[in-house]
């Protein structure tokens, strides 16, 4: 799809406005003032920082069920995970009713720095336990940088 052919003709400066590249403060204001963030991806998104940024501002999401989307969005609470674009459109009225504080809390509880560190530590502990279980000891390796 070419932007000039498919999107540009619809930019009217009123309902549809092209903003170009924006800085962090502008992005926070844009997401925070949005009613919903639509995330119509068509690839296997490995994480989707846009989803976290949206929910951090209290804005619910409607996204395609690809990649990490179902791991990031709590369906029916912080947004909706959809099978196709028609379903995404149908979820808009429901998404408008979602609690913005729930979205924000979801990010605080699941995607904060401390949660990330706790998650890494849990993986490391499990890996160590698995190694000990499989061979009775841990083999240390010296890594040179």
Phi-psi category of 104—alpha, beta or left, where left has phi over 0 and alpha has psi -120 to 50? alpha
Full-prediction pTM beyond 0.85? Answer: no
Q: Which CATH number fits domain 23-112: 3.30.1490.20, 1.10.10.10, 1.10.3720.10, 3.40.50.2000?
A: 3.40.50.2000
Enumerate residues 6+ apart whose C-beta is below 8 A from 39. 48, 50, 51, 54, 61, 62, 63, 64, 69
3-state SS class at 66? coil
Residue by residue, pLDDT tens for the chain (145 residues) are: 567 888 888 899 888 888 889 999 999 999 999 999 999 999 999 988 999 999 999 999 999 999 999 999 999 999 999 999 999 999 999 999 999 999 999 999 999 888 888 888 999 889 888 888 887 666 555 555 4
Structural domain boundaries of the chain? 23-112
């Amino acid at each position: 799809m070419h932007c000039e052919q498919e999107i540009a003709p619809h930019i009217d400066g009123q309902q549809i406005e092209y903003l170009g590249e924006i800085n962090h403060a502008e992005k926070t204001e844009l997401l925070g003032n949005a009613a919903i963030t639509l995330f119509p991806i068509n690839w296997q998104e490995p994480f989707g920082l846009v989803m976290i940024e949206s929910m951090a501002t209290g804005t619910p999401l409607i996204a395609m069920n690809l990649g990490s989307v179902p791991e990031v969005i709590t369906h029916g609470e912080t947004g909706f995970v959809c099978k196709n674009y028609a379903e995404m459109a149908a979820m808009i009225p429901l998404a408008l009713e979602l609690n913005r504080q729930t979205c924000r809390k979801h990010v605080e509880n699941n995607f904060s720095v401390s949660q990330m560190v706790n998650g890494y530590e849990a993986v490391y502990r499990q890996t160590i336990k698995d190694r000990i279980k499989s061979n009775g000891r841990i083999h240390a390796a010296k890594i040179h940088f």
